[in-house]
Amino acid sequence: MTNDAIRGSSDRSVLILTSLAEAPKHGYALIKDVEQFAGVKLGAGTLYGALAKLEAAGLVEALDADDRRRPYQITTAGREHLRERLTESARIAELGLRRIATGLA
Amino acid sequence: MIRWLLGLYPRDWRRRYGPEVAGLARQLLQEGDTTPLRTGLDLLGGAVLAWWAVALEWGALAVAGLVIAVGGGTAALLVVAEGTGIRAAGAPGAYLAAHPLGAGFVLTEMAWWAMEVTQVIRVRRAQHRLSAPETPALRSARRECWFVLGACCAAVTVVVNVIPSAAPAATIRPGGLVAAVGIGALLGGIVLRGWSFKALGTWYRSFTVTADPHQPVIDSGPYRLLRHPGNAGAALVAAGIGAASGNWIGLAVLITLPLALVLWLSSVEEAALIVALGERYRRYAACRKRLVPLIW
């Protein structure tokens, strides 16, 4: 869990879950949202590689396709997983910042 | 180019996600969000990751298959050695020394344990957690499961190793034939359990009782026919080991005791799944047998 947490917000699955925590989105909307809030440009292959893993783990689920595009939504287990990951990341970030500050002093 | 690159992905992955990935890649190119080179490299990287996931999924079965092959090969060699009278003497314990297939049995049993341990590790390493806290009923079922399973394992281990020498009158003859049937049952049980692990993935939590309201109802692989193929596989493995004892008493104990455990465990699991999944599981269970295809 700690290793996972250290990867923190750069982890693609965290970015995708964070985006889906707002509302269900299809691939293009997901890429644009992640680019907007994290400055990370995901490609189609990268995005669906991560989505496939998340879907297999039961963290996201596909909704019915509209206009040939399939939206994805975060599941309850996905929200819980995201909460755990972000809480751990925040704890480590806070600790790191405190140590940097102490080191500078 | 996109279609050709998608051809590099595993077939099941391509069927599920291919059209969506192709549509998205084309849209990103049209909107000027990416270049053909970046798209190509991205899809190539995605294909490698998709195959890596498949390799991981099959890894546990591949390991088990390898050890089974080694076990089977050793058993075959021992049979040949027995036939030509050059069998190595002094193998330790009644279990090994009782018949020529002893070492093959032990190796195959080790393969089974390797598969079980791999599955436990896989489940522990899985990212998803149970979405609901464990209910008191499930907690007590889990504890009972560990207790009963431990007692059962201890009992059958004692029986398999002690009974052949303690009750020689009950020796099964011909020994070679029953050992061959036993190793067949053992391999069949391992394959059935491994297939169940593959079908349920990390939702297959062995040696415990869990049910999650958000878990999917799987009806693929052996679950197409049976509600508890993993448990049926375990009973088959035990019966195979019972035959390996080469003793009627050993065989009877190794059939009845694990079968009683499996029947109890299946009923506890089923009750938990009905509580957690409700109508979804009832519908699935209504048209499938518990442990034996077409019979029960």
Question: Is the CB of residue B157 less than 8 Å away from at least one CB of chain A?
Answer: no
Instruction: Work out the end-to-end distance of chain B between its first and last CA atoms, rounded to an integer number of angstroms.
Output: 52
B6 touches chain A (CB under 8 A): no
Q: What is the pTM of this model?
A: 0.51
B92 CB-near residues (< 8 Å, 6+ apart): none
Instruction: Give the per-residue pLDDT at B240.
Output: 85
| Chain A residues with CB-CB distance to B38 below 8 A | 43
d(CA A78, CA B132): 12
Give the burial class of B29: count Cβ atoms within 10 A of its Cβ; 0-12 exposed, 13-18 middle, 19 or more buried: middle
Where chain B has pLDDT below 50, the residues are 85-95
With CA atoms as reference, the chain B residue closest to A75 would be B214
At residue B278, φ and ψ (nearest 5 deg) are: 60, -130
Q: How many CB atoms lie within 10 A of CB B152?
A: 16
In this prediction, residue A48 has a pLDDT band, given cuts at 50, 70 and 90, of very high
pLDDT score of A10 more than 50: no
CA distance B259 to A18: 47
Q: What is the mean pLDDT of residues A6-24?
A: 78
**Inter-chain touch B42–A45, beta carbons under 8 Å:** yes
Q: What is the pLDDT of residues B131-168, one digit of tens each?
A: 566 667 777 777 777 777 777 777 777 777 777 777 77
So what's the pLDDT on residue A29?
93
A48:B49 CB<8 A: no
Q: At what angle do helices B36-83 and B175-200 cross, to 10 degrees?
A: 170
Asked if residues B270 and B285 have their Cβ atoms less than 8 Å apart, the reply is yes
pLDDT at residue B73 in the model: 65
E strands in chain B: none
Helix (H, G, I), strand (E, B) or coil at B227: coil
